[in-house]
Amino acid sequence: MSETAGRKSARRGSWKLAALVLFMFGFGFALVPLYGAICQLTGLNGKSAGLLAAGKVREQVDQNRTVKVQFLTTVNGGRIWSFSADQAQIEVHPGQLYTVYFDAKNQQDQDVVGQAVPSVAPWNAANHLHKTECFCFSQQPFKAGEAKHMPVRFTLDPDLPADVDTVTLSYTFFDVTELAQQTAVKPKS
């Protein structure tokens, strides 16, 4: 094989490899919404479909049982935010409604949009945590330097497995400014 043919073959192989890498990245990126939908539907990975209208909650409090609920917060990289729960944990009685608050602050000199993604652990508690109000239900626009005090109103189902004595509700806050700008409805001219 000549040196020129070898270079062409190597170049062609490099292009094929680059195309394969781009395809794999695109495929993985496209799976994110599907994965989220599957997790939401099945409760896999601690995602809960436990949204209840506040009027549909019937409190059937189990005064004989106490469960510790922990609150964890994380900020996904990229922007400067502060994000924390007012309380690290609370003790709850299954069946009773509770409200806890989270604080978030945009520490930048520009407007941004944030979105919190929840996760529940252990996995078998996810379908027993029901939220009637949560800042995670929608995108949160922040003006430059703006801080927000945001509620989460929830109950644990009295049918929570007996071996679960601690439930961890964690939120990861993401910067979705670009996504919000792309999906914003533009007026027709």
- Beta strand 166-175 pairing with 67-75: parallel
Residue 165 contacts by C-beta under 8 Å, 6 or more apart in sequence?
A: 67, 68
Which pLDDT belongs to residue 16?
A: 82
Q: Point out the least confidently predicted range of 38-47, 106-115, 170-179.
A: 38-47
Q: Point out the least confidently predicted range of 15-24, 25-34, 95-104, 115-124.
A: 25-34
Which pLDDT belongs to residue 19?
A: 81
Vertex 121 angle, CA 116 and 122, to 5°: 165
Domains of the chain by residue range:
1-42, 49-183
Count of C-beta atoms within a 10 Å radius of residue 128: 21
Which pLDDT belongs to residue 44?
A: 47
Alpha helices by DSSP H, 43-86: none
User: Rounded to whole angstroms, what are the CA distances from 137 to 6, 129, 132, 150?
Assistant: 56, 15, 10, 12
Write out pLDDT tens, residues 84-93.
999 999 999 9
Write out pLDDT tens, residues 47-65.
444 444 444 556 688 899 9
* pLDDT average, residue stretch 110-138: 91
Which pLDDT belongs to residue 38?
A: 53
pTM for this prediction: 0.68
Write the CATH number of the domain with boundaries 49-183.
2.60.370.10
Which pLDDT belongs to residue 52?
A: 47
Cα(139)–Cα(18) distance, integer angstroms: 35
Residue 187 predicted with pLDDT over 60: no
Residue 52 is encoded by which pair of tokens?
């209840």
Write out pLDDT tens, residues 72-81.
999 987 668 8
